[in-house]
Structure 1
Amino acid sequence: MTQAAKLLYTGKTHTSGGRQDGISRSSDGRLDVKLSPPGSAGIGTNPEQLFAAGWSACFEGAMEMAARRRKIVLPRKCAIDAEIDLLLDEGTYALRARLNVSLPGIDREVARGIVDEAHQTCPYSKAVRGNIDVAVALI
């Protein structure tokens, strides 16, 4: 990060209780969620679902920018199905991700270019690059 980088936004949350029946609230009150362990009968969400939602939303924004550079309007029905796996590998936890992108009505080669560029520019993709296994598929 350069010293010239301009801060655009800081998301702030307060979490207590963690995965085990915890809560997480944003400083502006817009996010207020109960947390439960993945796969449990608890009523809350879990960090993997929150990560999938955040990454897919950000990725779609990166696709919009990539499409705009190509003077293309993304179809209204474009979608991203994000899957975040929580793994236990030799006693330590890890993540794995799949982003399944649908760009109906766009030529497959053009769509592939948009998706590839988005994966290079999306801040979430940058944050995990080299840290977790990621598969980005055009479906």
Structure 2
Amino acid sequence: MSTMYETTVNVSGGRRGHARSDDGVLDLELAMPGAGKRATNPEQLFAAGYAACFASAAMGVAKQQGYQLDDIPVAGHVALDAENHDYNLVVKLTAEVALPQKEAEALIENAHQMCPYSKAVRGNIRVDIEVKGQ
């Protein structure tokens, strides 16, 4: 197996700290969710990464299947659930696909099997997928 891409992000201060990628492109303040500070948090970063990866996987599947779609928008919703100091992530992805509903659902199911984020979290966290077709 050959590595297509790799990166390192250094964080100091945890959820109330600072994150900076090795190339300096990502350089931002972190804050607790709802802290009122104008800064992002790990859940937002995870939602963005998962939605972007999933959308790319869906576009790749669409191309493989012969569909010519300009875009497949994906909204990533990440919740941090806590019970008795046991913290868990819950994800909902909503994909909009300009195809009939059944075709859109099949395409998105294939994307869910292909997406590296989906593979990484499979069996570890709940991921719900909503498909909005035509």
Q: Distance in 2 between matches of 1:89 and 1:96?
A: 13
CA contact (8 A) 1:75 1:103 kept: no
2:53: which partner in 1? 58
Is 1:99 aligned to 2:115, yes or no?
no
TM-score, L = length of structure 1:
0.91
1:108: which partner in 2? 101
CA contact (8 A) 1:82 1:97 kept: yes
2:77: which partner in 1? 83
Superposed displacement of residue 69, structure 1: 1.2
- What are the superposed Cα offsets for residues 16-69 of structure 1, whole Å, 9 maximum, x if unpaired? 01112x110001111111100011111110000000000000001100111011
Q: Distance in 1 between matches of 2:94 and 2:112?
A: 12
Unaligned runs of 5+ in 2: none
Alignment partner of 2:116 out of 123, 127, 136: 123
Q: Distance in 2 between matches of 1:75 and 1:102?
A: 12
Superposed displacement of residue 89, structure 1: 1.9
2:22: which partner in 1? 27
| SS, match of residue 14 in structure 2 | coil
Superposed displacement of residue 90, structure 1: 2.4
| SS, match of residue 19 in structure 1 | helix
| SS, match of residue 39 in structure 1 | coil
CA contact (8 A) 1:112 1:138 kept: yes
| SS, match of residue 116 in structure 1 | helix
**Percent of matched pairs sharing the same residue:** 39
Superposed displacement of residue 119, structure 1: 0.4
Alignment partner of 1:38 out of 8, 25, 33: 33
Q: Which amino acid aligns with 2:88?
A: A
- What are the superposed Cα offsets for residues 76-101 of structure 1, whole Å, 9 maximum, x if unpaired? 4x311110000112221110000011
Superposed displacement of residue 133, structure 1: 0.8
TM-score, L = length of structure 2:
0.94
Is 1:14 aligned to 2:7, yes or no?
no
